[in-house]
């Protein structure tokens, strides 16, 4: 059974482990809990800037922000193009273009920082899922081996009981003769 587990670990990890590393891997996978809450682990290490970037990404990626921003643009165009004759920013709205460019220049890297952190979180989650799957597979293999032993023992017991029953029947038939 141990040989099969080692083979599974080697197969799944696709690397040759020395005996000590292999045993440590087996103990880690089978005897200890390996699941972890990725969100809690990452959130505990977040800086203030990380939290701000995540909040900004959350707000800027919402329908509420998009609708309000479209309303702001419409208001700006109507105010400076129609209502005020010589508005703060007359057509072709150069100031508005400058504001939008600055907003995009600041918003894009902040959103990318948040996405990079989410990608790291997903990578940790995937590694955790892999370790959990590996542990489950090893435990299932061990259970399979135990079931095979139980079935083998059960067959032996049934065979023994059948032999006893046959002996008992033959003894009874000899008594009757």
DSSP 62: S
Query: Can you tell me the mean pLDDT for 117-138?
Result: 86
Do 67 and 75 touch, CB atoms closer than 8 A? no
What pLDDT, in 10s, does the model give residues 56-112?
A: 888 988 999 999 999 999 999 888 888 887 778 888 889 999 999 999 999 999 999
Q: Is the alpha carbon torsion for 153, 155, 159, 162 positive or negative?
A: positive
Most confident range (mean pLDDT) of 27-36, 46-55, 60-69, 136-145 is: 60-69
What pLDDT, in 10s, does the model give residues 134-158?
A: 888 888 888 898 999 999 999 999 9
Q: How confident is the model at residue 128 (pLDDT cuts 50, 70, 90)?
A: confident
């Amino acid at each position: 059974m141990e040989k099969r587990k080692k083979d599974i670990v080697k197969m799944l990890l696709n690397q040759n482990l020395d005996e000590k590393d292999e045993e440590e891997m087996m103990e880690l996978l089978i005897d200890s809990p390996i699941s972890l809450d990725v969100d809690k682990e990452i959130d505990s290490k977040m800086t203030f800037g990380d939290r701000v970037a995540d909040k900004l990404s959350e707000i800027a990626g919402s329908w509420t922000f998009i609708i309000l921003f479209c309303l702001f643009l419409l208001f700006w165009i109507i105010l400076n193009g129609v209502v005020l004759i010589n508005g703060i920013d007359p057509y072709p709205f150069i100031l508005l273009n400058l504001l939008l460019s600055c907003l995009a220049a600041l918003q894009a890297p902040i959103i990318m920082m948040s996405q990079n952190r989410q990608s790291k979180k997903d990578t940790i989650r995937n590694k955790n899922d892999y370790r959990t799957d590996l542990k489950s597979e090893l435990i299932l293999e061990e259970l399979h081996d135990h079931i095979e032993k139980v079935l083998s023992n059960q067959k032996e017991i049934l065979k023994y009981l059948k032999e006893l029953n046959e002996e008992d029947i033959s003894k009874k038939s000899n008594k009757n003769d």
